Structure 1
């Protein structure tokens, strides 16, 4: 279930990033970062469920919290 959600969110991130790069329209950047934060958070949870690579799970969750903070700041600036 988590793997499917992560793949769908990653596809949405790539599509939004491609759209922003092609059209030079950065209006959706806070939304893109919010979805990226969710993707990274799910990746961190999946890594924590594994037994060997717990460190990278914590790193991924920490990075997702930072991206979430930046995304919220972007929403507040609009």
Structure 2
């Protein structure tokens, strides 16, 4: 389940980043930050399940910061 969610969010982030680079239209940047935060949150949960506490805490904090920035820019 986590692998599927991580794959879906990474495809969305890659698509939005590619769209922004090709068209020079950056109006979808908050959505990209939000989905990148979701990607990092899922990565942090999977790291926590594998008992890698340091990287799990770090990625969870970065995910929370990215989600805060995305919500703030909306």
Q: TM-score, normalised by structure 1?
A: 0.91
Equivalent in the alignment of 2:28: 28
State the Cα distance separating 1:73 from its structure 2 match. 1.1
RMSD: 0.6
1:18 and 2:23 matched: no
Structure 1 runs, 4 residues or longer, greater than 3 Å off: none
- SS of the aligned residue for 1:25 comes to coil
Equivalent in the alignment of 2:49: 49
Q: Paired residues, what number?
A: 74
- 5+ unaligned residues in a row in structure 1: which ranges? none
